[in-house]
Amino acid sequence: MAYVLTLVRHGQSEANARGVMCGRSDPPLTETGRRQARALAAGLPRPTRLVSSPLARARETAALFGTEVECDARWTEMDYGDLDGQPMTALDRDGWRAWQSDPEHVPAGGESLVAVRARVAAACTELAAEAATGEVVVVSHVSPIKAAISWALGVGIEIAWRMYLVDAAVCRIDTSGSAPMLLAVNDEGPLHAGTVQPA
């Protein structure tokens, strides 16, 4: 049996449904998000270790997996500073250009992509050996999961701008070899496999 590091984006939150930037603010899951979380818990193997961002939308998703949840702040969403809770249009064209062209750029007093990459890479490295021998699941957010993918691929975090993660996305990294190997991005199989059809 092959074991992997499974990265799960939390189910849809109220901020996701409104299409606003959501970093350290802490909106709850929507009913759709709770359905997604229940489906993921049913569709994924029971984890031997379950790690979650401390934010409520991730913890609420992780809580349904039926395993003790360990919170690790390194998996918290990127800090968007004053942009948190704002629509995408809150940042003008020059602001977006600066952010996308420089991974060390700090938007609106928040956090740079490089900083997110550093904390997530450290967390991934610590989990790698255990993920090679057991079912390690991390419930997190868009930016940390993109950072973990960049870690697996051995590339810079600027690749984050070329990725899109859906709500309740499942990504898998094989950590059993000499270098991490990305196996899946936006795998919706577990989401559909665990969907309970209404009677």
Annotated catalytic residues are 10, 77
Residue 163: CB atoms within 10 Å: 14
Question: How far, in Å, CA of 148 to CA of 60, rounded?
Answer: 21
Residue 25: CB atoms within 10 Å: 16
Question: Phi, psi at residue 129, to the nearest 5°?
Answer: -65, -45
7, β-bridge pairs: 138, 171
Both tokens assigned to 94: 């020059």
26 exposure class (CB count in 10 Å sphere: 0-12, 13-18, 19+)? middle
CA 105, 109, 113, 118 dihedral sign is: positive
Both tokens assigned to 191: 């989401």
Residue 30: CB atoms within 10 Å: 19
